[in-house]
Amino acid sequence: MCGIVGILGRGPVADRLIDSLKRLEYRGYDSAGIGTLKGNHIELRRAEGKLRNLETRVRCHPLSGHVGIGHTRWATHGKPTEHNAHPHATDNVAVVHNGIIENFRELRAELKQHGACFASETDTEVVAHLIDSYLKNGCSPQDAVKASLPRLVGAFALAILFKGQHDLMIGARKGSPLAIGHGEGEMYLGSDAIALAPLTDLITYLEDGDWAVLNRNFAVVYDTQGTVARREVVKSATSSVLVDKANYRHFMAKEIHEQPEVIGQTLAHYVDIANESVALPQELPFNFNEIGHISITACGTAGYAGHIAKYWFERLARLPVELDVASEFRYREAPMRKGDLAVFISQSGETADTLAALRYAKSQGLHTLSIVNVQSSTIARESGTVLQTLAGPEIGVASTKAFTCQLVVLAALAVAAGKARGELSESDEIDLVRALIEIPRLVTAALASEPQIEKLARDIAKSRDVLYLGRGTSFPLALEGALKLKEISYIHAAGYAAGELKHGPIALVDESVPVIVIAPCDRLFEKTISNMQEVAARGGKIILITDASGAAEVSKDALATIVLPKMGTTFTPIVYAIPVQLLAYHTASLMGTDVDQPRNLAKSVTVE
């Protein structure tokens, strides 16, 4: 899961390649590189680490050339060093790649036998040498690529340059996304429309198996059979403005604070505020009465949003929900009933496992509905129905505002399902919609707990392990809290259903372990509190998150109580997510980790 870009320009391209890579850094930031054609040879600049290192290098050693490719890397094969950074090149050809070439060992051995010398440990370098071998056998660049592609097993998006070919670039995709951008007398390749936004808004999305031959004035797309394929040019609505941090230290902080506004925007898209009813922006191409079962599939935080929604669909619409981690969904051969509904949740809309699960569900004859934040993404384009979250660009690797907006859409959908199935009366719907309309105000109130949370974070920052407990919808929120903390602070954290603690994890509890108990005053409150007392009895340092009545009842057993506003019980996770996010944020920020780009991670995970 890397970002790639290519420019066939009318002027120097180095700076524009770097500008596009800035928009692709969410795909990986282990290393970055660019390559251009200079006279009769290919020149590269590459640097380990963040893009700013490459920028410094290019500033010291400028790169001319009107045609070039660029790459930002999330390491899969080989350490994140400079020599493993893309582009990978021979004398004749340079390649940037997103994906994994699964048969690279065999190809490498074969190419070595024929004299190829490898300079990196990457799978990508075989692509450069393979194409090079065909070029050396007298093939044209186009024929060399055509002969090479069928030999690559795995997933790839490629942008390829050829020595001496100043009006040629070739792109190919299988599994990983790739788009062509059409400029005025210029042509571009990019992993997505976001990378190309400052260059053009005229985009052709390549389909799986396509490859394309570009020159400055036109692009010819071929399908897997090598037949010329007609692919539409669409106008992208992606903004070219690079989002900034405003006055915040980190994007994550900014995104946490944007939640009242973006939740409000998303809500306004899914409910009719004046009539206090659910109003989905489009008619659904299926009838909830004919659905026997919903399967929800996603990864990471999006998966926890799905887990919370399972409680809502089951309770409000009496629809059984099966929940899957996307990387497992298509491999476990679960029986599926044609005509049932499969829901996919993804901020980026590019997560490889979620996309593969979507394609699998389609092949099984299920209705597919996706909840995505990036409207131009592959998942959005390939889903039967798309419900957009209006969270705006989420830059911090830790998902915050996308999560709460996903919950809003899922809540509206669950109410719509309950209504359609006759499980909710009109007055139930009004009550639930009123509760949803209250949420932006409640989230604002929850944000007021920040100074207290900042102080508590000092303690958490000294811990080795942290536990999160909750029951009902607070259980998946506990899982989300633990994920949030560990991904940005690198402190080990685990979330549990509060009732499950005594079946093993309670052995971890001692005076050094903070235990975050998420306990809104709902019908499970007393039970959660009993579990909390089991922890207190063993010396655990409890941080209780509840409302004023909960606090009045039990806060003496807690080291600290974060008091949230009183609210109805159904949608508490949307509001209780706020202290959970703030706790992770302030802990990591105190520890001085790279909050927005934590180690080993990427915002968009486009490999399996």
Bridge partners, 343 (sequence order)? 296, 369
Residue from 95, 299, 369, 491 binding ligand M6R (CB under 6 A): 299
- Residue of minimal CB distance from ligand M6R? 300
Contact window for ligand M6R (CB under 6 A) among 93-101, 348-356, 452-460, 559-567: 348-356
Q: Which of 174, 401, 484, 603 is catalytic?
A: 603
Backbone phi, psi, residue 342, to 5°: -115, 125
As a whole number of angstroms, the distance between CA 537 and CA 470 comes to 18
| Residue closer to ligand M6R, measured from CB, 108 or 254 | 254
As a whole number of angstroms, the distance between CA 528 and CA 112 comes to 62
Contact window for ligand M6R (CB under 6 A) among 29-37, 50-58, 295-303, 527-535: 295-303
Contact window for ligand M6R (CB under 6 A) among 241-249, 309-317, 344-352, 420-428: 344-352
Question: In this structure, what token pair is assigned to residue 341?
Answer: 């509904």
| Residue closer to ligand M6R, measured from CB, 123 or 487 | 487
Amino acid at position 282, single letter: Q
- 390: Cβ contacts below 8 Å, ≥ 6 apart: 262, 265, 266, 269, 405
Tell me, yes or no, if 556 is annotated catalytic.
no
Shortest distance, CB of residue 355 to ligand M6R, whole angstroms?
9
Shortest distance, CB of residue 398 to ligand M6R, whole angstroms?
4
Contact indicator for 58, 17 with CB cutoff of 8 Å: no
Question: In this structure, what token pair is assigned to residue 331?
Answer: 């491999």
Residue from 120, 176, 347, 561 binding ligand M6R (CB under 6 A): 347
Q: Does the footprint of ligand M6R cover residue 444 (CB under 6 A)?
A: no
| Residue closer to ligand M6R, measured from CB, 159 or 302 | 302
Size of the site for ligand M6R (CB under 6 A): 16
Q: What's the farthest any 2 CA atoms get from each other in the chain?
A: 82
Backbone phi, psi, residue 471, to 5°: -120, 160
Q: Does the footprint of ligand M6R cover residue 301 (CB under 6 A)?
A: yes
- 369: Cβ contacts below 8 Å, ≥ 6 apart: 284, 341, 342, 343, 344, 383, 384, 385, 386, 387, 413
Binding mask 391-410 for ligand M6R (x = CB under 6 A): ------xxx-----------
Contact window for ligand M6R (CB under 6 A) among 106-114, 186-194, 298-306, 518-526: 298-306
| Residue closer to ligand M6R, measured from CB, 55 or 487 | 487
| Residue closer to ligand M6R, measured from CB, 291 or 582 | 582
As a whole number of angstroms, the distance between CA 530 and CA 351 comes to 39
Shortest distance, CB of residue 151 to ligand M6R, whole angstroms?
31
Question: In this structure, what token pair is assigned to residue 8?
Answer: 């066939």
Shortest distance, CB of residue 177 to ligand M6R, whole angstroms?
13
Amino acid at position 290, single letter: E
Backbone phi, psi, residue 211, to 5°: -140, 155
Shortest distance, CB of residue 333 to ligand M6R, whole angstroms?
23
CA-to-CA separations, 246 to 27, 49, 251, 451, in angstroms, rounded: 22, 25, 9, 20
Question: In this structure, what token pair is assigned to residue 162?
Answer: 């050829």
Residue from 348, 370, 474, 606 binding ligand M6R (CB under 6 A): 348
Contact indicator for 465, 489 with CB cutoff of 8 Å: no
Grouping H, G, I as helix, E, B as strand and the rest as coil, residue 22 is helix
Site for ligand M6R in 448-507 (CB under 6 A): 483, 487
Tell me, yes or no, if 117 is annotated catalytic.
no
As a whole number of angstroms, the distance between CA 419 and CA 258 comes to 31
Rounded (10°) angle between helices 125-136 and 141-148: 130
Shortest distance, CB of residue 312 to ligand M6R, whole angstroms?
19
Contact window for ligand M6R (CB under 6 A) among 149-157, 293-301, 452-460, 542-550: 293-301
Shortest distance, CB of residue 583 to ligand M6R, whole angstroms?
14
The residues annotated with a catalytic role in the active site are 2, 603
Q: Which residues bind ligand M6R (CB under 6 A)?
A: 299-302, 346-348, 351, 354, 397-399, 483, 487, 604-605
